[in-house]
């Protein structure tokens, strides 16, 4: 079942989101973990979850948006090891090899290879069958509604949640075209509360994400990435899809690799525009529904497309979690039962 922000369920019958029951004597408060969007920077979530595991802190509820949904959903499915291995296996060239250019769909890349890989890794796993209650957040294109994916194939829910507008094709789920949930709820605190969390820990991986004072040319896609994309365009041209384009390599390099005096290339414009929008929405949502504990990961030195730098971001996630664990334990709303089950690193 999915729910949209209006409370309508799949059958279009009225539905009321569950409300957290106040923790009473003898009942341990339920801990919700809201994992935010942030493209490649979301590999940081892996390190945070690793430190929580080491400390004995296990969330009772997980909600994720975009890459937060990918990492959170795999964790809930017992596949955190697999997603960590995958992230560490990525080189810049392999990242690009997983993206299949599309000139006929709703994105630059069709995302078919990524979808098939995730479906194979999570075959037979459903959202409702997870041991930890989980929801992935997506956006419906036609209405702008916030969609909570609560049932059905896990891989489908994750694919819909991270379908970055303009880059990856949207996904059709039960007749609705969905893409990245970061456009409506980048850090899904509200979803955790609706699923019954008494205490919500939120992770923001795009805090202060804009690169102040740097040279525009430094933000562009690098030479190696450009070369791989150019080769993909040449392959397409070889199949006759680009007709009169005389030099596809020159075309892609002109569009993606720009000089410092030319301004940002098209990919940089798309990613930065999305990042700015996500940041403003996240600030607004957090102001209206703040979490009990907010973990802000400072990842300014990483680009949204730096998927090949997972090892660095995972380690940063570990360091951040180690620093914040005492704050989590000392939170006034947490019971002695939680304190006994968690030790500081």
Query: What confidence tens digit (pLDDT) does each residue in 142-196 have?
Result: 999 999 999 999 999 999 999 988 888 899 999 999 999 999 999 999 999 999 9
Percent of the chain topping pLDDT 90: 52
Query: Residue ranges of the domains in the chain?
Result: 30-208+294-319
Look at residue 216 in the predicted model and tell me its pLDDT.
Answer: 35
Cβ atoms of 274 and 182 within 8 Å: the answer is yes
Highest mean pLDDT among 89-93, 109-113, 167-171: 89-93
Q: Which of 159-163, 269-273, 313-317 is least confident? A: 269-273
* Average pLDDT estimate for 235-247: 52
- Of 87, 82, 69, 50, the residue nearest 309 (C-alpha): 87
Mean pLDDT of the chain: 79
Least confident segment among 19-33, 170-184, 190-204, 248-262: 248-262
Contact predicate 162/257, CB 8 Å = no
pLDDT at 60 over 50: yes
Dihedral angle at the C-alpha atoms of 234, 89, 155, 197, nearest 10 degrees?
-130
Phi, psi for 139 (deg, rounded to 5): -120, 130
Residue 200 has pLDDT above 80, yes or no: yes
Question: Which of 174, 181, 148 has the alpha carbon at shortest distance from 4?
Answer: 148
Cα gap 140→146, rounded to integer Å? 7
pLDDT at 303: 85
Task: For residue 126, give the DSSP letter.
Answer: B
Q: Are 178 and 94 in contact (CB under 8 A)?
A: no
**Tokens encoding 226:** 């450009």
Please report which confidence band the pLDDT of residue 228 belongs to, taking 50, 70 and 90 as the band edges: low
Residues 6+ apart with CB under 8 A from 161: 64, 65, 66, 69, 70, 136, 137, 138, 149, 178, 180, 181
Q: Is 30-208+294-319 a CATH 3.40.1090.10 domain?
A: yes
What whole-number distance in Å separates Cα of residue 135 and Cα of residue 149? 5
Say if residue 10's pLDDT is above 90: no
Catalytic residues: 66, 180
The pLDDT of residue 345 is above 50: no
User: Which pTM was predicted?
Assistant: 0.80
Closest CA to 303 of 184, 166, 206, 165: 206
Lowest mean pLDDT among 43-52, 102-111, 251-260, 289-298: 251-260
> Would you say the C-alpha torsion 302, 308, 309, 314 has a positive or negative sign?
positive
């Amino acid at each position: 079942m999915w729910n949209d922000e209006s409370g309508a369920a799949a059958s279009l019958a009225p539905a009321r989101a569950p409300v957290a029951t106040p923790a009473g004597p003898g009942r341990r408060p339920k801990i919700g973990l809201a994992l935010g969007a942030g493209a490649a920077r979301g590999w940081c979530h892996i390190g945070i979850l690793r430190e929580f595991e080491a400390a004995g802190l296990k969330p009772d509820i997980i909600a994720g948006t975009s890459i937060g949904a990918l990492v959170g959903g795999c964790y809930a499915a017992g596949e955190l090891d697999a997603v960590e291995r995958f992230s560490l296996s990525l080189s810049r060239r392999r990242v690009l090899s997983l993206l299949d250019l599309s000139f006929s769909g709703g994105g630059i890349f069709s995302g078919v290879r990524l979808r098939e890989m995730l479906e194979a890794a999570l075959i037979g796993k459903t959202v409702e069958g997870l041991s930890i209650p989980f929801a992935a957040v997506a956006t419906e294109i036609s209405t702008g509604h916030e969609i909570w994916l609560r049932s059905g194939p896990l891989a489908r829910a994750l694919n819909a949640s991270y379908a970055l507008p303009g880059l990856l094709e949207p996904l059709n789920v039960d007749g609705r075209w969905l893409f990245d949930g970061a456009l409506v709820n980048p850090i899904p605190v509200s979803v955790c509360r609706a699923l019954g969390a008494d205490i919500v820990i939120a992770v923001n991986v795009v805090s202060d994400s804009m690169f102040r004072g740097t040279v525009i040319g430094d933000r562009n896609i690098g030479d190696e990435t450009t070369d791989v994309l150019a080769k993909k365009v040449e392959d397409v041209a070889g199949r006759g899809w680009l007709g009169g384009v005389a030099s596809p390599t020159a075309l892609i390099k002109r569009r993606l690799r720009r000089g410092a005096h030319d301004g940002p290339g098209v990919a940089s414009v798309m990613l930065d525009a999305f990042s700015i929008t996500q940041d403003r929405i996240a600030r607004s949502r957090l102001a209206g529904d703040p979490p009990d504990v907010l973990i802000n990961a400072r990842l300014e030195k990483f680009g949204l497309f730096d998927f090949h730098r997972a090892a660095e971001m995972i380690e940063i996630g570990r360091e951040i979690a180690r620093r914040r664990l005492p704050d989590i334990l000392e939170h006034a709303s947490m019971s002695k039962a939680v304190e006994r089950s968690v030790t500081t690193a």
